[in-house]
Structure 1
């Protein structure tokens, strides 16, 4: 039995790429994510491996964060930006012994691989492999996610930073990667294709004592938007720079040059941020993108929106800095829908953090 057959026998509804959309009860999935833990198949997210002397240097010189000085098994998120500082892609890079592991946004693995390959010069020692061909990727989310990981990897979760840990699940070699959370904690597992069903079942069995549920990408999208995490094609696009998208903690202002560095550094040093990312609560569902207004004046754009299983409508948007305050009412589109700003999303500069 392959994974897709197992999902369907377990009540799963699948997208065309074989990734589960849901397992029949999205409310149960959502509740488990907030109270316990959920297991998701996120194999459509990219995962790459680089080897050789310059395995991290090629990422260091073209992305925003300082990934060239990580501790052993440390991970850091970083952004690929254009010469004008616009977002091309978001990665998480891990210093995994004599290799570097890289995870990407959904559907972006091959594009990131090709982009990195173009940055390898004749005197570089770096080889890039796409692990998406030979592996699957599962993720655990929720307040009990780390406790489940520690069943298999007792040493996991001991560091203050994102980390990668090698362990086994029923004799299968698995790499565990900690990432920034959507709810509770988030752990990624990279598993050989041929052992994916076995590992999936083992995780669910081990997690029963913690109330684990399988969950699909529809639940992931709700959690993403609720938590204010920028998504590919929505907030992660060339329409925005990292500082506008709540990604201040993924930009180093002390490292050397990288593509787009001059523009980003100038905006930080001159405090010239024109807009920033916020989460919103809407009076009713509106498909994004759509214009946001105050007193008839355009102040931003709603970029993501979703109805939660409990009927709330939440969204992510970009608004001008002067109106980026919790509780601020804005108009959404042209049909009388209102929204209130809930929070500033992601990591913000000190001047905005207390709003």
Structure 2
């Protein structure tokens, strides 16, 4: 099975590309192999998420894969920080497409025992694939040139599965999608991006970046007031809908898909708590920390 992923993307080139991108993001790009894949966030000075991306370190560039309509804002931000750095930032959204190949599907050319990021030939086109968990188990994000889409899609295993089914699977697994769940503007530790979360995207041992002081303070004090949970409820509700308990706002819900959504919720609410989302009943399920 495979699903088209609404995407945007940037290509960063130049001699200083790795150090430059590394200095802007929350995770450790320098420690990644070549080719390699690192999930990361780009924060504001208050430590809040502006964009989430998956950064691919390659021989000639750093490829940043983002959700739809995110590349323009990140490109503008990166260009503001170019001073003496030998880098160029190019928006390649119109040139590329992405699908997620679900776990258990054999993709021709992908080496199951290989690295997190791999480049290979598929249907006469050079493609880039990364091991990405979108459903509770690792599948593959496959990136390819838009002009080769017909041939690439014809070579994929199984049938196309709608995005709604992928959203339902990730919600059931407790995996956030920062853009689709309307979680931009939150702290990474509140929405599952910390080291023990379902989508770890932070290194506390790398150098400075925008928002790093807040991240260090949170690591030292461990005092984030919210965390990521799963909500079960008939819905539907919109991503970003307020969650209330006893008449007080206690969090915000993500995109409703399948039987519920992920949500950013105050930590004092226990497992099994009954809440309201946009006036509809829902039940809280805590997400087990990942090792």
For normalisation by structure 2, the TM-score amounts to 0.88
Contact 2:180 2:239 in 1 (8 A): no
Once the two structures are TM-superposed, the CA of residue 236 in structure 1 deviates from its matched residue by 2.8
Is 2:149 the partner of 1:196?
yes
Residues 73-122 of structure 1, C-alpha deviation per residue, up to 9 Å, x if partnerless? 1211111000011110001112112321211112212222222222222x
Is 2:50 the partner of 1:88?
yes
Once the two structures are TM-superposed, the CA of residue 139 in structure 1 deviates from its matched residue by 2.0
Aligned to 2:163: 217
What runs of 5+ residues in structure 2 fail to find an aligned partner? 195-199
Contact 1:235 1:245 in 2 (8 A): no
Structure-2 change in CA distance of 1:51 and 1:251 (3 Å): same
What does residue range 333-344 of structure 1 map to in structure 2 within 5 Å?
Answer: 333-334=278-279, 337-344=280-287
Contact 1:156 1:165 in 2 (8 A): no
Secondary structure, counterpart of 2:284 in structure 1: strand
Aligned to 1:244: 190
Secondary structure, counterpart of 1:125 in structure 2: coil
Secondary structure, counterpart of 1:152 in structure 2: coil
CA-atom RMSD in angstroms:
2.2
Residues 180-208 of structure 1, C-alpha deviation per residue, up to 9 Å, x if partnerless? 332432312222222210111111xxx2x
Is 2:68 the partner of 1:106?
yes
Residues 239-261 of structure 1, C-alpha deviation per residue, up to 9 Å, x if partnerless? x1111111002111111211011
Residues 155-204 of structure 1, C-alpha deviation per residue, up to 9 Å, x if partnerless? 34434xxx22111113221111222332432312222222210111111x
Aligned counterpart for 2:262 among listed residues 303, 316, 320: 316
Structure-2 change in CA distance of 1:277 and 1:235 (3 Å): farther
- Structure 1, 92-101 or 281-290: larger mean CA deviation: 281-290
For normalisation by structure 1, the TM-score amounts to 0.73
Structure with greater Cα Rg: 1
Aligned to 1:178: 131
Secondary structure, counterpart of 2:188 in structure 1: coil
Contact 2:235 2:256 in 1 (8 A): no
Secondary structure, counterpart of 1:250 in structure 2: coil
Aligned to 2:114: 158
Once the two structures are TM-superposed, the CA of residue 220 in structure 1 deviates from its matched residue by 3.0
Contact 1:230 1:245 in 2 (8 A): no
Secondary structure, counterpart of 2:17 in structure 1: coil
Higher helix proportion (structure 1 or 2): 1
What does residue range 1-355 of structure 1 map to in structure 2 within 5 Å?
Answer: 38-42=1-5, 44-121=6-83, 123-141=84-102, 143-145=103-105, 148-149=106-107, 151-153=108-110, 155-159=111-115, 163-203=116-156, 207=157, 212-228=158-174, 229-232=176-179, 234-238=181-185, 240-248=186-194, 249-306=200-257, 308=258, 313-323=259-269, 325-334=270-279, 337-344=280-287
Aligned to 1:8: none
Structure-2 change in CA distance of 1:194 and 1:285 (3 Å): closer
Contact 2:254 2:263 in 1 (8 A): yes
